[in-house]
């Protein structure tokens, strides 16, 4: 049982004001802090890109790195799976990454009736018109998996967009610092130039007018998690939750085609359920509710990025047969 003195100390600790956020006033200081946080999430960081390497990339690939992304890549180059390897990948591989958002949107328009109102009246040959619009739009530069930042305006603070496999685009974050803060799921040093609203970017702001919800990272892990969400919803129904409550707490936009995941063993299922438990914790569920509904709870201290890396590593192990 706690003594009177210990209780008083606890009360004093609770009354302490929260530690103020650290503000970065230079690109170099912010980049250094961010790279340290990435390392703590088990991301491999290689030596930063030199000025010559950056100029060669921009010349070959016909775009300019935004200043904030450039500062990070100069300090250190993330090379773990999911991050573009600007040093070791071939020009062709990097060109494919840069062209992927446009290719996905073109496929969406070609395969469906989709046509955004900002593009004007729908023409008889929509893909031809869309190609011209995409050629005039700023290039999207890959940051991590399906997450991109526009190459222009050539200023710090461009928004980050998410482009999924179906060609759907949404606004993911007001800027690069906000993106990494969400990805790392921790308070990071905030640059003085951090955006408080999304800057307008030609073509992309209209197309990605809807902001990604708190479940954006679910889409990034969908290929690893597959149909686990369906099993979770079934489990919640079994636990007595109403359909309205389930819709409110599990708000995920389902696509017409969802690739089902074949889990090889009980360990795979357990790992995926732990990830789902983290999703529910971040949605506001208590640990007791998560344990009651799923029978297990994940590690709340792990970031979204760490779960992605674990999933990728596990998939490689399964592919290699070990």
Q: What is the pLDDT of residues 38-92, one digit of tens each?
A: 998 889 999 999 999 999 999 999 999 999 999 999 999 999 988 999 999 999 9
For the chain, give the percent of residues with pLDDT over 90.
43
| pLDDT at residue 292 greater than cutoff 80 | no
Residue 255 domain flag? yes
pLDDT for position 77:
97
C-alpha to C-alpha distance for 51 and 48, rounded to whole angstroms: 10
* 23-24/190-191 β-pairing: parallel
For residue 220, the surrounding DSSP H or E stretch is helix 216-225
Q: How many domains does the chain have?
A: 2
Check: CB of residue 159 under 8 Å from CB of residue 171. Answer: yes
Q: Which of 212, 235, 252 is the last residue of a domain?
A: 212
- Of 8-22, 82-96, 215-229, 294-308, give the range with the top mean pLDDT: 82-96
Residue 204 and residue 260 in one domain: no
Residue 260 domain flag? yes
Considering only CA atoms, give the Rg of the chain: 22
Residue 47 and residue 140 in one domain: yes
Q: Which of 191, 212, 233 is the last residue of a domain?
A: 212
pLDDT for position 31:
86
Global pTM value: 0.67
What range defines the domain where residue 121 resides? 23-212
Residue 10 domain flag? no
| pLDDT at residue 186 greater than cutoff 50 | yes
Check: CB of residue 98 under 8 Å from CB of residue 63. Answer: yes
Residue 82, domain CATH: 3.40.1580
Cα dihedral angle (30, 35, 38, 42), rounded to 10 degrees?
A: -160
Q: What is the pLDDT of residues 236-281, one digit of tens each?
A: 665 666 666 666 655 544 433 334 444 555 565 566 666 667 666 6
pLDDT for position 108:
94
Residue 165 and residue 303 in one domain: no
* Bond preceding residue 160 cis, omega within 30 of 0: no
Residue 138 and residue 268 in one domain: no
Q: What is the pLDDT of residues 132-165, one digit of tens each?
A: 999 999 999 999 989 999 999 999 899 999 998 8
- Name, in order, each residue with C-beta under 8 angstroms of 321's C-beta and a sequence gap of 6 or more: none
Confidence band, pLDDT 50/70/90 cuts, at residue 309: low
Q: Which of 148, 178, 212 is the last residue of a domain?
A: 212
């Amino acid at each position: 049982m706690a003594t009177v003195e210990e209780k008083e100390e606890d009360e004093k600790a609770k009354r302490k004001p929260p530690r103020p956020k650290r503000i970065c006033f230079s690109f170099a200081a912010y980049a250094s802090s961010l790279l340290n946080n990435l390392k703590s999430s088990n991301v491999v960081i290689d030596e930063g890109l030199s000025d010559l390497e950056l100029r060669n990339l921009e010349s070959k690939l016909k775009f300019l790195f935004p200043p904030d992304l450039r500062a990070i890549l100069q300090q250190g180059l993330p090379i773990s799976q999911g991050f573009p390897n600007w040093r070791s990948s071939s020009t062709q591989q990097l060109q494919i990454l840069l062209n992927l958002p446009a290719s996905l949107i073109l496929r969406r328009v070609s395969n469906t009736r989709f046509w955004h109102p900002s593009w004007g009246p729908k023409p008889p040959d929509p893909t031809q018109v869309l190609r011209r619009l995409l050629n005039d739009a700023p290039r999207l530069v890959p940051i991590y998996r399906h997450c991109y930042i526009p190459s222009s305006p050539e200023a710090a603070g461009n928004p980050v967009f998410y482009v999924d496999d179906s060609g759907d685009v949404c606004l993911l974050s007001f800027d690069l610092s906000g993106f990494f803060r969400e990805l790392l799921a921790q308070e990071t040093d905030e640059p003085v130039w951090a955006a408080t609203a999304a800057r307008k970017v030609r073509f992309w702001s209209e197309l990605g007018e809807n902001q990604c919800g708190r479940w954006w990272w679910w889409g990034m892990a969908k290929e690893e998690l597959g149909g686990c969400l369906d099993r979770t919803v079934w489990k919640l129904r079994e636990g007595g939750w109403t359909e309205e409550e389930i819709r409110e707490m599990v708000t995920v936009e389902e696509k017409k085609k969802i690739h089902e995941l074949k889990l090889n063993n009980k360990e795979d299922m357990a790992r995926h359920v732990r990830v789902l438990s983290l999703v529910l914790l971040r949605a506001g569920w208590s640990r007791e509710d998560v344990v009651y509904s799923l029978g297990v709870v994940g590690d709340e201290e792990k970031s979204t990025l760490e779960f992605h890396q674990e999933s990728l590593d596990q998939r490689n192990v399964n592919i290699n047969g070990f």
